[in-house]
Amino acid sequence: MGERWGKEVELFYSTYVNKVDRKGRVSVPATFRSTLATHRQPNLVILFPSFRLPALEGTGSDRMEEMQERLETLEEFSDEHENLSQLFADAHPLTIDAEGRVVLPEKLKNITGVTDEVAFVGRGATFQLWDPAQYEEHSAAVRERSRRQGTTLPPRPALRRPE
């Protein structure tokens, strides 16, 4: 668990590859469903195209509300506001059925190149959906870039001592 937006939140961990059936249904990993269940709308997955990658970004209702609050801090008619508000126009709220599945719209499958399998990739407060082969290439490239750049976590903020 972590703390974000003033409350405890569950995080999305690990990578799972699940089958997509002929109707476009795919099982959301149980651990992801558990994390989504902590949101105000527990059976809702929200997917939208990544701005930078051939993947879908995924999250729950609380995170989308938090993103909207942050968007409100921008000048309403600025390019930056328009760029970022596009994610809401492109978002697809999907309801998790009784079997733990969602139906991936054809439009979203086309963005990722997903056909018969999809990789659910945990990214902490969010997750991504990828074509599994494309994700393996991307993951290897990120690990190599991280190694080459000597990537490390930023230090923890200094704790304030009581006065």
- Class of the CATH-defined domain 2-149: alpha beta
pLDDT > 90? residue 93? yes
Mean pLDDT of the chain: 89
pLDDT value, residue 4: 45
Q: Can you list the alpha helix ranges (DSSP code H) found in 7-130?
A: 30-36, 61-71, 79-90, 106-112
Q: Which of 29, 34, 14, 28 is nearest to 94 (CA)?
A: 28
Domain residue ranges in the chain: 2-149
The pLDDT value recorded for residue 86 is 83
* Residue 80 CB partners (closer than 8 Å, separation 6+): 74
Cα–Cα distance between 27 and 129 in angstroms, integer?
12
Per the DSSP assignment, residues forming a β-bridge with 130 are: 119
d(CA 101, CA 98): 7
Locate the DSSP E strands across the chain.
2-4, 7-9, 15-19, 25-27, 44-49, 56-59, 92-95, 101-103, 117-122, 127-130
DSSP, collapsed to helix, strand or coil, labels residue 163 as coil
> Which pLDDT tens digit goes with each residue over 98-117?
999 999 999 999 999 999 99
